[in-house]
Amino acid sequence: MKTGNQYRESLKKLHPIIYCNGRRIEDVVDDKMTKPHVNSAAMTYDLAFEPKYEDLMTATSSLTGKKINRFTHIPQSTGDLVKKVKMLRMISQHTGTCYQRCVGMDALNATFITTYEIDRDCHTNYHERFKEYYKYVQQNDLMIAGSMTDVKGDRSKKPSQQADPDLYVHIVDKRKDGIVVRGAKAHQTGMANSHEMLILPTTNLGPEDKDYAVACAIPVDAPGVIHIFGRQTNDQRRLDGDIDCGNSEFAIVGGETLTILNDVFVPWERVFMCNEYPYAQKYVETFASYHRQNYGGCKVGLADVIIGTAAAVADCNGVLNKSHIKDKLVEMTFLAETMHCCSLACSSEGFKTPAGSYYVNTLFANAAKLNCTRTMYEISRLAHDIAGGFIATLPYEADYKSKEVGPYIDKYLAANPKYSTEERIRMARLLENMTGGTALAESMHGAGSPQAMRIMIYRQANLEHKMDIAKKLAKIDKMEG
């Protein structure tokens, strides 16, 4: 297992092409735009060495028998699935933001199941090939970027129907030694500070789309790969100071990129799906359900921080003990724990797959994520209600630190004498950071849009059974419709 500093050193050995705001980022570890994201990911390494969190953060590999970081683990029981959720909540409490390793963890485990199923039905050798790759990931404690989301172009058309065939990642050549892929992946959480990406299909595919049925592992600095670092709410504040950032050490969300694949060569030993289009939809659903399981863990950890910040701001304002403030804090806590219960339930109700790994209850996993798309907004709304309007109108950090107007800000923004003005401002900026645009958009669209969850929930609603129950109670033998 790597420590956080060993993780940082391993990133320095890579040379990905990353562009940000008109320039190239040369060193993701120290560049001001990417350093906070590296810091949050590093926590997933450092916490594994904390005796207090060892049970949550580590596991025994089913492939090698060695102690590994849980982010590279194949779940072997429902207990493993539960520990995953609890681990994510705990890490979020330490970072107050996304730590980016979840997507790769879920892509790995979805690939483990899917390659087994393809081999079983098609007599290929993807699963054994992938297990060797998984051992490599475990032995080197790699951070993997799960790369599922394509740019998609015209959403009304399938991949093969697009005006530009590159709007979904696809195979453009097959050679004796491997394949060549072209296209782009969007919203790539943690890509800039990952070691490798695991490419997955992004939608169900038909025979005409077979070249889009591809899964493979690619180093982030492979020839032909270009990353374009995305903007986030208030990201330029990282360049200006400390206080205005709100959470300067750990950034805002996940440091997403638009990742371009310009005819990237992938050797066969790193190819885990090649034209097996009938398995694409199940692949996507397996990954999505694993990933939606997470939201009652990581987002609840963030909610814990938001609730604590809102309470602290209320205390700074001198109103923490007011009954209406208590009511709002109780509501926020209730909403957070409801999310957590959904994820614990989908984990506890998981089951062993034919591949040997454990998989979540997909109905509960989708309910957990759909709940999150509403709940995090309501928690944020209540936090804004508690804090008051000054979280949106605070002066610049530079003005607060200036000789000319700083003393006025210090004087007129003072409140509860138990806290300094700077402490009150810092707490307000943290709340602003955690409840702003980028963070909430990720709660809505991360792991799929709400409609994707509704489709999955409808498929598993078992309406025929529910209708039969109703007919029996109503003493109706047959009902039209």
Chain segment 349-375, per-residue pLDDT in tens = 999 999 999 999 999 999 999 999 999
Reply yes or no on whether 98 is catalytic.
yes
Reply yes or no on whether 358 is catalytic.
no
Q: How far apart are CA 220 and CA 226, in angstroms?
A: 9
Reply yes or no on whether 295 is catalytic.
yes
Q: What's the whole-model pTM score?
A: 0.93
Q: How far apart are CA 257 and CA 28, in angstroms?
A: 13
Q: At what angle do helices 102-122 and 280-293 cross, to 10 degrees?
A: 150
Q: How far apart are CA 272 and CA 43, in angstroms?
A: 30
Beta bridge mates, 198 = 146, 217
| Residue tagged 């950032």 (tokens) | 245
| Residue tagged 């790995």 (tokens) | 108
Reply yes or no on whether 256 is catalytic.
yes
Q: Are strands 18-20 and 58-60 parallel, antiparallel or unpaired?
A: unpaired
Reply yes or no on whether 102 is catalytic.
yes
Write out the DSSP string of 192-236.
GG-SEEEE---S---GGGGGG-EEEEEETT-TTEEEEEPP-TTGG
**SS3 per-residue string spanning 67-121:** EEEHHHCCCCCHHHHHHHHHHHHHHHHHHCCCCCCHHHHHHHHHHHHHHHHHHHH
Q: How far apart are CA 117 and CA 279, in angstroms?
A: 8
Reply yes or no on whether 60 is catalytic.
no
Give the active site residue among 7, 37, 94, 98.
98
What's the confidence (pLDDT) of residue 478?
64
Mean pLDDT of each 10-residue bin along the chain, 481 residues long: 98 98 96 95 98 98 98 98 98 95 97 98 97 98 97 96 98 98 96 98 97 98 97 84 87 86 98 98 96 95 96 97 98 97 97 98 95 94 95 94 97 97 96 85 82 89 92 81 51
What's the confidence (pLDDT) of residue 480?
56
Inter-residue contact 266 to 178 (CB < 8 Å): yes
What does each C-alpha distance from 343 to 308, 369, 373, 390 come to in angstroms? Answer: 22, 9, 14, 35
Please name which of 365, 401, 13 lies closest in space to residue 242, comparing C-alpha atoms: 401
What the block records as the tokens of 374 is 């509403």
Coil, helix or strand for 274? strand
Indicate the length of the chain as a whole number: 481
CATH code for residues 290-471: 1.20.140.10
Dump pLDDT digits (tens) for 197-215.
999 999 999 999 999 999 9
Q: How far apart are CA 436 and CA 294, in angstroms?
A: 21
Dump pLDDT digits (tens) for 393-435.
999 999 999 999 999 999 999 999 999 999 999 999 999 999 9
Inter-residue contact 169 to 181 (CB < 8 Å): yes
Question: Which amino acid appears at position 307 of this protein?
Answer: I
Q: Are strands 67-69 and 358-359 parallel, antiparallel or unpaired?
A: unpaired
What the block records as the tokens of 82 is 């539960």
79: left (phi over 0), alpha (psi -120 to 50) or beta: alpha
Reply yes or no on whether 442 is catalytic.
yes
What's the confidence (pLDDT) of residue 371?
93
Give the active site residue among 291, 359, 419, 432.
291
Beta bridge mates, 182 = 170
Reply yes or no on whether 465 is catalytic.
no
- Is 189 flagged in the annotation as binding? yes
What's the confidence (pLDDT) of residue 364?
95
- Give how far the C-alpha of residue 472 lies from the chain's centroid of Cα atoms, to the nearest Å: 44
Give the active site residue among 216, 274, 298, 316.
298
Residue 358 phi, psi dihedral angles, 5° rounding: -105, 145
Q: How far apart are CA 212 and CA 181, in angstroms?
A: 9
What are the structural domain ranges in the chain? 290-471
Q: How far apart are CA 296 and CA 252, in angstroms?
A: 19
Sign of CA dihedral 29, 35, 37, 43: positive
Q: How far apart are CA 431 and CA 249, in angstroms?
A: 15
What's the confidence (pLDDT) of residue 253?
74
Long-range CB contact pairs, 331-338, < 8 A, 24+: 331/382, 332/303, 332/306, 332/307, 332/379, 332/382, 332/383, 333/307, 335/303, 335/375, 335/378, 335/379, 336/300, 336/303, 336/304, 336/307, 336/375, 336/379, 337/300, 338/371, 338/375
Give the active site residue among 97, 189, 259, 362.
189
Inter-residue contact 102 to 294 (CB < 8 Å): yes
